[in-house]
Amino acid sequence: MMDMDSIFQEVKSASRDLALLDSEKINEVLLAVADAAIRQAPYILQENAKDLAKMNVADPMYDRLKLTQARLEEIAQGIRGVVKLPSPLGRVLKDVVRPNGIHLRRVSVPFGVIGVIYEARPNVSFDVFSLCIKSGNACVLKGGSNADASNRAIVEIIHQALKSQNVNPHIVELLPAGHESAAALLHATGYVDLIIPRGSSSLIQFARHNATVPVIETGAGICHTYFDEFADLTKGSAIINNAKTRRVTVCNALDCVIVHQSRLKELPQIVSLLASSNVVIYADKAAYEALDGKYPPHLLEQATTESFGTEYLDYKMAIKTVDSFEEALNHIRANGSKHSESIITENEERAQRFLREVDAACVYINVSTAFTDGGQFGLGAEIGISTQKLHARGPMGLEEITTYKWLIEGNGQIRKA
C-alpha cells in the first residue's frame, strides 16, 4: 500500500491532467460512471451489506449508511443531472480595461485538489466525485470506517470507468479508514488546496482545530423553528413535522421549536403529528405543562440545559417557550449553528425582521428547513452546506467549489510609480 504522501502526490499530478480535459470529455466520464453504478449495483450492495452487518439497525445512522437499488438509481440520476449543468469553469466574473490600456479579467478556475472527510454516507463518494470532476478538481476522499467496504467498492468502480475513458484514475483516491489518514489529509499542505469535512459537529470541529490546509465548515446543523404569536396553526404544524421527521439524520433536520407563550394552549396541536413518528420531546417547564397528558407520556421529558444547542440527528427535539420575538432571536443567537432557521408567522413586519436579524446561511419564512439542499436550491448536487462566511455559505454546488484568478493583458506597459 502506498504511503500517504505518495497518494497525495499522485492526486496532485492527476489534477494537472484533469485540467486538460474539456467539458465534453468530462461529461462522457460522468455518464460512464452513472452507467457503471447501475451495472455494478449487485457488487456495491454486496459490499454495503458488509458495512450494514456491523451497525445496529436501531441506530439512526443505519439509514444513512444503507444503499438500495432504488437509491443507486437516484445516485446515477443525480450524476446524469450534473452532466446537464453548465460548466462552472472559465466564467468571466469581471472584465475591465484600465486607463493605461491594461486589460483585466477575473475568471473562474478549479481549486485543484479538494479533500473531503465524511462519515457513514457512501453516496457522498459518488456526489463528491461528480461535482469535483465537473468543476475541474481532483479529490481525496476520507470516509468513515463504518462505510469502508461500500466506499472502496464505489471508488473501484469509478476507477474502472475512468480507465475505460482513458482518464487518469488518480483524479480520485480513497484514503484508509483510520484516524491516521485523516490527520495526514488535514496536514497535506502543498498537495491539497481545500478540505471540506461533512458530518457531526465533533468531526467538523476536529478538522477546523487541527488542519493546516484551508477548511470550509459544513454540515453541523442546530436548526430552530420559531412558532410566532401570529403563526398559522395548520401551516405551522405541517412545517414542524416535515422539518423534524422527513429525515432525522441530515443536517437540516429540526432540533428545537421555539414557541411564543401566547400559543401554549395550542402546543398539543402544534406537535400532534410528531407522535406518529415517536418523536421524543424535551420540553421546558411551560411547554411541559402544556403537553402533560396531551402528548404520549413515554415521549415527553423535561428539558435540561443540555437539551438546547444540541444537534439530535434522531427522533428527538427540544421546545423552548419565549415571552417575545426578541427572546426568540436571542435564543437562536445563543444556541444556533448558523445553518438554517425558520419563522412561522403571518405578520409581514415580523417576518422581514427575522430575515434581517437572524445570522444563518439559510433563513426561512413559513417554510421547512428541510429545503436547505443543493438540489432544492437548483444547484444540482451539493458537496455540503457551509455554515461559515468566507468564500461560500449555504449549499455548495459547482460554482462554490471553484475559485478565480486574474488574467492581465497589455502591450508593454510599465509601472513608473
Residue 206, in any domain of the structure: yes
Q: How do residues 272-296 score in pLDDT, each as one tens digit?
A: 999 999 999 999 999 999 999 999 9
d(CA 218, CA 382): 11
| Confidence check: pLDDT of 143 > 70 | yes
What residues contact 417, with CB distance under 8 A and at least 6 apart?
none
Residue type, 84: K
- Mark whether 256 and 143 lie in a shared domain: no
Mean pLDDT computed over 218-243? 94
Q: How confident is the model at residue 2 (pLDDT cuts 50, 70, 90)?
A: low
- Dihedral pair phi/psi, residue 115, rounded to 5°: -100, 135
Average pLDDT over residues 191-218: 89
Query: Is pLDDT above 90 for 97?
Result: yes
Within a domain: 70? yes
64 and 197 in a single domain? The answer is: yes
Residue 307 lies in a domain: yes
CATH of the domain at 149: 3.40.605.10
Number of domains in the chain: 2
Residue 109 has pLDDT above 70, yes or no: yes
Q: Do 61 and 181 fall into the same domain?
A: yes
Q: How far is CA 368 from CA 236, 242, 384, in A?
A: 9, 7, 18
Per-range mean pLDDT, top range of 15-19, 116-120, 219-223, 343-347: 343-347
| Among the ranges given (118-122, 219-223, 249-253), the one the predictor scored with the smallest mean pLDDT | 219-223
Same domain, 205 and 301: no
Please indicate whether residue 32 or residue 374 has the higher confidence score (pLDDT). 32
Partners of 365 in the β-ladder: 343
Name the more confident of 59 and 245. Answer: 245
Nearest to 237 by CA among 269, 283, 202: 269
Q: Are residues 56 and 165 in the same domain?
A: yes
Q: For residue 277, is it within any domain?
A: yes
Above 90 in pLDDT, residue 340? yes
- Same domain, yes or no, for 78 and 211? yes
Q: Are residues 193 and 74 in the same domain?
A: yes
Give the percent of the chain with pLDDT over 90: 85
Same-domain pairing of 294 and 355 = yes
Q: Which amino acid is at 63?
A: D
**Same domain, residue pair 113 and 236:** no
Sign for the pseudo-dihedral over CA of 185, 187, 193, 195: positive
DSSP characters for 304-361?
A: -GGGTT----SSEEEEEEESSHHHHHHHHHHH--SSEEEEE-S-HHHHHHHHHH--SS
Integer angstrom CA distances of residue 248 from 223, 278, 315: 12, 12, 6
Residue 415 lies in a domain: no
Residue 201 has pLDDT above 80, yes or no: no
CATH code for the domain of 293: 3.40.309.10
List the 138-142 sheet strands across, edge first: 172-174, 138-142, 113-118, 194-198
Three-state secondary-structure class, residue 208: helix
Using a pLDDT cut of 70, give the percent of the chain over it: 99
**Burial of 58 per CB tally in 10 Å (0-12, 13-18, 19+):** exposed
pLDDT of res. 417: 81
Q: Are 141 and 280 members of one domain?
A: no
For the ranges 70-74, 148-152, 350-354, 386-390, the lowest mean pLDDT is seen at 386-390
pLDDT of residue 217: 82
Arithmetic mean of pLDDT over the chain:
94
Q: Is the pLDDT of residue 378 over 90?
A: no
Please state the φ and ψ torsions of residue 30, each to the nearest 5 degrees.
-60, -40
**Secondary structure letter of residue 179 according to DSSP:** H
Instruction: Confirm whether 105 is domain-assigned.
Output: yes
- CA trace torsion 294, 252, 127, 154 (10° rounding): -40
**pLDDT greater than 70 at residue 219:** no
DSSP code at position 234: H
pLDDT at residue 191, rounded to an integer: 97
Task: Using the predicted structure, report yes or no on whether residue 1 has a pLDDT greater than 60.
Answer: no
Beta strand 254-260 pairing with 316-322: parallel
State how far the Cα of 202 lies from the Cα of 221, in Å rounded to an integer. Answer: 12
How confident is the model over 136-147, as a mean pLDDT? 95
Q: Is 329 inside any structural domain? A: yes
Mean pLDDT across 384-389: 89
* Structural domain includes residue 414: no
Q: Which residue do the cell numbers 436550491 mark?
A: 377
CA 23, CA 45: separation in Å to the nearest integer? 31
Decide if 239 contacts 368 (C-beta within 8 A): yes
pTM (two decimals): 0.88
Q: Which domain holds residue 246?
A: 223-371
Does the pLDDT at position 329 exceed 90?
Answer: yes
CA separation for the pair 197, 188 (Å, rounded) = 14
Residue 199 clears pLDDT 90, i.e. is over it: no
Does residue 129 sit in the same domain as residue 51? Answer: yes
Cell of 210: 487541527
On whether both 47 and 159 belong to a single domain, the answer is: yes
Question: 177 versus 234: which is more confidently predicted?
Answer: 234
